[in-house]
Chain A
């Protein structure tokens, strides 16, 4: 198992963001982490990445969350997390410095295809371009686990297609990708497995195609039914 979560709990004061999560994520699959806002998706993701501390155990390829696990996890958060005063070249050097498994050539190639000038400072770029740069940086890492938090939220359809394409092309053999989103219909075609999370608890897990066969509905429709307001 690539990721194992055992009895994971996370409380913010009195609010229980995650309740007794037990989860296993296999290798070589694209997994959709689906749930409404505030369901605990981002909390779980942050715990796996070491940005939050909670109770319970989380193992990534047998390692606890720490510098060793961070080497093999590539994370794309919802926000822009790069130093805006840097140029794209500087950011690429930054990633090269800290990550052994970062493929700078791949990054340059992808950036060139989009016509992004690597000498430009990040502050000069539009929001959409910044997001593309971040995606390219993350997908240029030869990681074992990619975690993408709302990668297609707030972008135009063309960019959305580009993002999904980039994800599919960089899908390393043996690596897994967790896509957390509430825009299910745009993404569900490429999902192997899905995890429904609601109110901090795992509601449903399974193969996407099997669920479609079982219920005769799209994942999006199943989701709407289960999470009706």
Chain B
């Protein structure tokens, strides 16, 4: 059943996002071509700079749009008119929820790849790539690990941070929809509340950790290296995000199980 639900979630979100991906790739190619032309005809340079500026805006906007599409799908499929069909399918709530999460994950990855591809196609990225190399170099020293580990953990961290926001929005929507009136207002309020509650809980845990075992991130006892401290902070951040995701998922699951569509 999960496969079937996924099929339709992926299709639906795809319909919103693929035009954007196409636009990015085409614009990238155009910029690259204009770039070539600009070398011979100066007038193209001005046009190209303009398009490039808009292109960058487009790329940044892609991440926000991807997030928006994910949230919209969650709301539309599980709480708007369509929900009357979704919730009368012989499918468990877990499956419906999992599919939304997986699809959001898939598309942020695809968006990221598309944006990166767009950048690589559009311009000469050697300067940027050099910067990245320097950054990686510093990171390997700081964390005392391989470049690959840095890259993997770095991507994982970004992904998890994004998904935490997605889960938070999902939970906010599900909580807001439990009310009879002003559902959207409540949803926004809950999202904000969940964000701050999440932050506060993280700080509390950080505080507790600092108090009880400060040696994890400081070298009071000279047992902990700077590298270890850095790693532990990173692990803490990942762990905290993961816990938040689980908590938000539980909220969604609970609200969906005790459904009240009015």
Contacts and interface: CB of A to CB of B under 8 A. Distances in A.
Is there a direct interface between A and B, measured as CB atoms under 8 Å apart in the complex? yes
Interface of A: 12-13, 46, 49-53, 66-68, 70-71, 73, 75, 77, 79-83, 85, 94, 97-99
Interface SS, B side: loop
B90 A99 contact: yes
A51 B12 contact: no
Nearest to A83: B82
A52 B257 CA distance: 9
A196 to B, nearest CB: 24
A96 B8 CA distance: 13
B212 interface: no
Contacts of A80: 81
8 contacts: A12-B180, A51-B87, A52-B262, A53-B258, A66-B92, A67-B90, A98-B4, A98-B90
Interface in B81-130: 81-85, 87-92
A70 B84 contact: no
Nearest to B180: A12
A90 to B, nearest CB: 9
B81 to A, nearest CB: 5
B90 A68 contact: yes
B180 A70 contact: no
Contacts of A83: 12, 82, 85
Given A50-B88, A83-B12, A97-B7, 10 more contacts: A51-B83, A52-B261, A53-B257, A53-B258, A70-B89, A77-B84, A79-B84, A81-B84, A85-B15, A98-B90
Contacts of A81: 81-85
B227 to A, nearest CB: 50
Interface string B160-201: 000000000000000000001000000000000000000000
A71 to B, nearest CB: 4
A116 to B, nearest CB: 19
B88 A82 contact: no
Interface string B36-69: 0000000000000000000000000000000000
Nearest to A15: B180
A60 to B, nearest CB: 12
A94 B81 contact: no
A51 B90 contact: no
